[in-house]
A and B are shown apart, each in its own frame.
Chain A
Amino acid sequence: MGTGRSEELDLGQAPGRPGRAAYDGPLLAVDDLSVTFTRRGRRDVRAVDGVSFAIRPGETVGLVGESGSGKSVTALAVMGLLPGRGVRVGGSVRLEGEELLGASDDRLRDLRGREMAMVFQDPMTSLNPVVSIGVQVTEVLRRHRDMTREQASVEAASLLRRVGIPDPVRRLKDYPHQLSGGMRQRALIASALACRPRLLICDEPTTALDVTIQAQILDLLRQLVRESGTALLMITHDLGVVAGLCDTVHVMYSGRVVESAPRRPLFGSPRHPYTGGLLASIPRLDAPRGAPLHPIQGSPNDTIPWESGCAFAPRCEDRVDACTTSAPALEVRGNASVRCWNPLPPPGRTAAVQEVRA
């Protein structure tokens, strides 16, 4: 990343807002969050179960898991974007100490876009096809910063330039189908950052993009976080993204956090067998040609309910008897928290064990 160009991306600290200084807890505190989908005549589905984490300003936290592990639902719950009916949300989500669960719709609408914003997975469908980019970016400026149309479009052009869109004034008049995928994601990031939110949630922002564009978008996010002190919640199933971006990582499985650790220990010595399996499944460039990949056995559907044991037990190679009789709690072990009856050995012995396995 060219450090000489950093002034171009200077989104600045969020403008001083009164009443802020007194608070020095985490920016976002999610405590025992649970989301249950209910439908008449069907069994309730608990998509998120007792998830807790916190993000400090300027920190990047990763929420990792495979499809259906509850990571996107967690993000939607934080933003208050889950549908009103058929969903039960429990626990607590506090933004700078303010409880968001149960907050009024008006209050949430005021916060969304201004204090917290979200970038979605698919830039192809997240922009309205019949409205110009300019309208879609200025919309949030006019909503939260009371700008006139002219002010907003000047500001929108500079936002587009900051996220790396060339010729922004012309691009404002363009429609989404005239932009490439990477450009669209940049435009979406621009509108998410328009009001300098304190919390940015990215739900797999690079999944729909090709690899070189992925790298550019991740660089952009990294730079934004560093320079604006925005807290970033990164939701992904791509451990490469985690490795490049996140300070702290929470690994989710079947709606619960199974391992929380800072990035280095997580990659160096995963403690939960699921995390270990995820890391082992990454194809290695230095592996000999034709070497078999190491998938995690089974599929995410092979779970047992958390009430009667560990949901990962049916797929786990290190299963012990306790795994299928009672659910393990999230326990602090070393510098990580692990939810497992028989965790992988701590650093030092890992190498030996993995050699034995191989």
Chain B
Amino acid sequence: MTAPHELGAAADPRTAMVLAGAEEGGSLGRDAWRRLRRDPAAVVGFLLVVLFVAVAVLAPWLAPYSPTDTPGQGTVTPTNIPGPSAEHWMGLDNLGRDELSRVLYGARQSLIIGVVSLLLGASAGILLGLLAGAFGGWVDNIVMRVVDMMLAVPQLLFAIAVAAMLGQSLTSVMIAIGVTNVPVFARILRGSMLAQRGSDYALAATSLGVRRRFVVLRHVLPNSLSPVIVQGTLALATAIIDAAGLAFLGLSGSDPAVPEWGRMLSETQRFLASAFHLAVFPGLAIVVAALGFTLLGESLREALDPKYRR
């Protein structure tokens, strides 16, 4: 049934041609990167994230005043809080501080809370998910029931409870938000690993006698990480919003002089009638930062998802 032919494909010019024409360069990552660059939402998200990080890092050089300076001392009264002007682009706050400077410095706080809580939550969640996904069976059962219990409590309520327990400090806010992220990461990684464990290449590796820990760590885990990466960017967005929410409820770092968007919003409540701008700018800052991470995360999800591939 088989026609005689050459075995060494190198000798076969047709094969060589096909190979030369094969998709050049790059792993899956580069492939996803290419799709990402073509996606306008991803580009906008990326620019917003870059803006946010740049502002946070460069705040001392960008801000016209220190966040504790009170250039408006004397002119500001509870009924007269000047809005945006050429001198103070975002106006002054109730204590006569420059609102623009405070919003710029506020980015630092949000970035620190976002990143640290993400690292805390993601590493604990990934560890739990890895345990459940790698061992399965009763380990999986126990881990997932714990995770279910954590998920049963609404996220913000959970964060409030943790923050209230740990007391008023930046650390407790970060831990609180991190803890709420744990079950999400654990679940995502575990589900994705279970799906990959049944894959043909995992079976093929096992059929070659590859040890189980290598099958899990080298084959299953790397293929399971893309939803976790996506969740990471999305978690940054929710962390910023959660931090603002906690601060608004009075659960934030102990030093009221350190500007923070959520606390700026909550302190503004009393002056809402006379100083509308004090609510708009910190609110806008929260929206922009969260939007950037969300856009980036969603497009990353699409770029990494094979179903969207063309």
Contact = CB atoms under 8 A, between A and B. Distances in A.
B38 interface: no
Interface in B198-214: 199-201, 203-212, 214
A179 B204 CA distance: 18
Given A9-B7, A244-B1, A130 B208 contact: no
A241 B1 CA distance: 8
B207 A223 contact: no
A144 B210 CA distance: 9
B189 to A, nearest CB: 15
A111 B209 contact: yes
Contact of B22 (A113, A178, A194): A178
Interface residues of B, number: 38
Contact of A219 (B5, B16, B206, B223): B5
Given A1-B4, A1-B7, A2-B6, A128 B209 contact: no
B22 A125 contact: no
Interface stretch (A43-51, A162-170, A312-320, A330-338): A162-170
Interface in A293-334: none
B266 to A, nearest CB: 45
Interface stretch (A18-26, A116-124, A346-354): A116-124
Contacts, number: 130
B209 A216 contact: no
A130 B27 contact: yes
B247 to A, nearest CB: 40
Interface in B32-59: none
A164 B207 contact: no
A9 to B, nearest CB: 7
A135 interface: yes
Interface residues of A, number: 54
B66 to A, nearest CB: 48
A316 B201 CA distance: 39
Interface of B: 1-10, 15-16, 18-19, 22-24, 27-28, 31, 199-201, 203-212, 214, 218-219, 222-223
Interface of A: 1-2, 5, 8-9, 79, 81, 109-114, 117-118, 120, 122, 125-131, 135-136, 139-140, 143-144, 164-167, 175, 177-180, 183, 188, 191-192, 194, 215-216, 218-220, 223, 240-241, 243-244
Given A5-B6, A113-B207, 4 more contacts: A109-B209, A109-B211, A164-B8, A166-B16
